[in-house]
Amino acid sequence: MEHSGCAVNRERHFSCEDCSGNVSGGFDASASQIVLCQNNIRNQAHMSRVVTHELIHAFDHCRAHVDWFTNVRHLACSEVRAANLSGDCSLVNEIFRLHFGLKQHHQTCVRDRAILSILAVRNISKEVARKAVDEVFESCFNDHEPFGRIPHNKTYARYAHRDFQNRDRYYSNI
């Protein structure tokens, strides 16, 4: 975040609260704050996914100046990126949800999770949410910043972190 020009203060930018429903967290764009729903987070792995998901939204808010409240395509893009990069669609999570397939399953999961996330925060029809996701899917699914790759597991996450640390060195040699 700081590398992208956004200061981060853990005391100010993170909040743990009790939430209604089954939502696990959210990003409050008006306060630039990540909210973790302490009553709905089941374990450390779940919390890590929620924090990563919401940090993707915070990164998009900083980097892309997302119009969260009036542009559903902006919201759709950030939700696609968050579902893709946070581990929401890992094979283990999908097996626990009893959703699994072989061909293009990760992409299908990302689409479905993005649509569900949009419907959780916007009062729009599923068709409008699906259309917004479809319109932005290709470019947003392939945008892996700040990781540079999809961190499917801890090993990939370490590689992504190493790539991030070395990217200035790489670009300065071009």
Active site residue 138: no
Contact at 8 Å (CB) between 32 and 10? no
CA of residue 81 relative to chain centroid, distance: 5
d(CA 64, CA 5): 12
Say which of 2, 11, 17, 54 is annotated catalytic: 54
Query: What are the b/e assignments for 130-158, b being 16+ CB within 10 Å?
Result: bebbeebbeebbebeebbeebbeeeeebe
Q: Give the CA angle between residues 151, 164, 46 to the nearest 5°.
A: 35
DSSP classification of residue 40:
T
Tokens representing residue 108 in the block: 């299908």
Q: Return the active site residues.
A: 54
